């Protein structure tokens, strides 16, 4: 008998027991838009809900904040968010699709028959993690909250409960594999099987590399790289046997293009990228339906710049242009619900990736001249100010940092990325239109030239 590591990947149609008993929901049905994403998401809904969801919930109408899908695609003031995901039938975790009013009143299967999605978020106490907590909570998720600082976790728990969900506060240092494993077990023991695991916790040091200590490099690596490894493995130990689940790795443009003064952080993000690519190939080899995706971020307005350990003379800042954490939170939620290998947020992220591929040497010199000033404001700071490198700071800092002014609340690049099929179709249509116009103009000129060329012959013929 061949081992799990020796066998070839089995076709999904030849899986054990002949496939899912609910495959009829996707076979033979018409799928619009991104076919592969839609089919896979429909299957994931079936798995997450253990077959107890009514078929018509897959096509539930979004009625707004009060009903439908709990306000999917709505901003806080009630309008549609331009970069919100638009097709509720593509959410893979069934709890994100709350029942409509009619279903609550007269459905054969009441909402009580469907369990909410179970989500774990590391670094949930502040910044991007805190914004992601709010985004998932608005979709009815039950969330395991992991971070070191209890004050921020308790604040996040209150926000989840205010949104109608449930939360479990788990003070955890992700650099400790045993703590991460214990937290994962606690979430499943309290809420049930984990559907989505979001790795987001990080620390950094703003300093020239030669001035950093070995302990500082080790700490940044243990949290920002090994913390992701431990979280991913804890999730996989639970998801792989069930053959379902999504892991979202919150990455950075710095995973592709490093910048000065953050050598430890950039190295950790590069390491995460290498780890995920290797792991993804292993999952494909094993024929696993567990999906792992990476969300690559631009500069974000989070509280970390108020507590990052720094040896620079001025207050740290994200390299402009800066985005609000809610933009990233929506991208994380969207990535959890679509089988994309990687999701890039913001044009600066794309520019960094492309630039490093084609002009790395030029970027070396550009960042040498501009990278120092771009990461600092004009405000002097004390060298001994408190930082969170080894211990969390007390207090609840929320999601936003001090750079609200000028921070973007919308990413056109991500909005287009969500709709790349539509964008591609529009581009092809525009290209076809232009080609048709050029061909018509060319034919018109050809016809006119032919008439002029025949005119003299005509005169000779008819005298």
Determine contact, residues 131/138, Cβ cutoff 8 Å.
no
The 10s digit of each residue's pLDDT in 407-445 is 888 777 777 777 666 666 766 777 766 777 777 777 766
Helix or strand (DSSP H, E) at 356: helix 347-358
Q: What's the average model confidence in pLDDT over 105-133? A: 77
Q: Cα separation of 23 and 286, whole Å? A: 21
Name the more confident of 65 and 194: 194
388-397 burial by CB neighbour count: b if 16+ within 10 A, else e?
bbeebbeebb
The 10s digit of each residue's pLDDT in 139-170 is 999 999 999 999 999 999 999 999 999 999 99
Q: Is the peptide bond before 321 cis (omega within 30 degrees of 0)?
A: yes
Q: What angle do CA 422, 355, 294 make, to 5 degrees?
A: 55
Using CA atoms, how far residue 243 sits from 169, 239, 336, 414, in Å, is 27, 6, 16, 29
What predicted TM-score, i.e. pTM, was given to this entire model?
0.72
Among 110-124, 147-161, 294-308, 364-378, whose mean pLDDT is lowest?
110-124
pLDDT of residue 424: 67
3-state secondary structure of 196: strand
Contacts of 254 (CB under 8 A, 6+ apart): 262, 265, 266, 269, 352
Which residues form the catalytic set?
265
CATH class of 116-410: alpha beta
With tokens 């995460």, the residue in question is 272
pLDDT of residue 64: 32
Measured over the CA atoms of residue 392, residue 393, residue 395 and residue 401, the dihedral's sign is negative
Q: Domain residue spans in the chain?
A: 116-410
Q: Cα separation of 167 and 121, whole Å? A: 11
Q: What is the dihedral of CA 67, 68, 73, 76, to 10 degrees?
A: 0
């Amino acid at each position: 008998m061949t081992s799990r590591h020796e066998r070839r990947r089995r076709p999904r149609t030849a899986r054990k027991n002949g496939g899912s008993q609910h495959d009829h929901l996707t076979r033979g049905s018409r799928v619009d838009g991104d076919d592969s994403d839609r089919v896979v998401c429909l299957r994931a809904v079936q798995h997450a809900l253990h077959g107890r969801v009514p078929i018509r919930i897959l096509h539930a109408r979004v009625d707004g904040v009060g009903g439908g899908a709990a306000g999917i695609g709505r901003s806080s003031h009630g309008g549609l968010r331009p970069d919100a995901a638009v097709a509720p039938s593509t959410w893979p975790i069934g709890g994100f699709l709350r029942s409509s009013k009619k279903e609550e009143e007269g459905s054969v299967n009441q909402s009580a028959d469907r369990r909410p999605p179970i989500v774990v978020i590391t670094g949930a106490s502040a910044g991007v993690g805190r914004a992601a907590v709010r985004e998932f909570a608005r979709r009815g998720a039950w969330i395991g909250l992991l971070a070191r600082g209890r004050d921020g976790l308790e604040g996040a728990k209150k926000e989840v409960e205010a949104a109608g969900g449930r939360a479990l506060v788990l003070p955890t240092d992700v650099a400790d594999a045993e703590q991460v494993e214990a937290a994962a077990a606690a979430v499943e023991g309290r809420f049930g099987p984990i559907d989505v695991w979001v790795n987001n916790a990080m620390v950094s040091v703003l300093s020239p590399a030669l001035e950093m200590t070995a302990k500082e490099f080790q700490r940044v690596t243990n949290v920002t790289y090994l913390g992701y490894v431990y979280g991913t493995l804890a999730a996989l130990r639970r998801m792989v046997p069930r053959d379902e689940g999504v892991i979202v790795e919150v990455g950075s443009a710095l995973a592709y293009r490093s910048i000065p003064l953050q050598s430890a952080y950039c190295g950790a993000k590069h390491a995460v990228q290498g780890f995920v690519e290797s792991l993804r190939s292993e999952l494909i080899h094993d024929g696993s339906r567990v999906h792992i995706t990476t969300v690559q971020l631009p500069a974000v307005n989070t509280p970390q710049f108020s507590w990052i350990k720094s040896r620079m003379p001025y207050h740290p800042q994200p390299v402009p242009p800066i985005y609000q954490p809610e933009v990233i939170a929506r991208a994380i939620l969207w990535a959890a619900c679509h089988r994309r290998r990687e999701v890039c947020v913001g044009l600066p992220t794309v520019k960094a990736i492309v630039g490093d591929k084609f002009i790395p040497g030029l970027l070396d010199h550009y960042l040498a001249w501009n990278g120092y000033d771009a990461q600092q404001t004009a405000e002097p700071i004390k060298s001994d100010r408190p930082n969170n490198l080894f211990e969390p700071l007390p207090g609840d800092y929320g999601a936003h940092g001090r750079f609200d002014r000028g921070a973007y609340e919308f990413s056109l690049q991500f909005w287009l990325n969500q709709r790349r099929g539509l964008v591609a179709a529009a581009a092809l249509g525009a290209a076809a239109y232009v080609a048709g116009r050029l061909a018509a103009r060319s034919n018109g000129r050809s016809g006119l030239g032919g008439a002029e060329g025949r005119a003299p012959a005509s005169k000779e013929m008819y005298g």
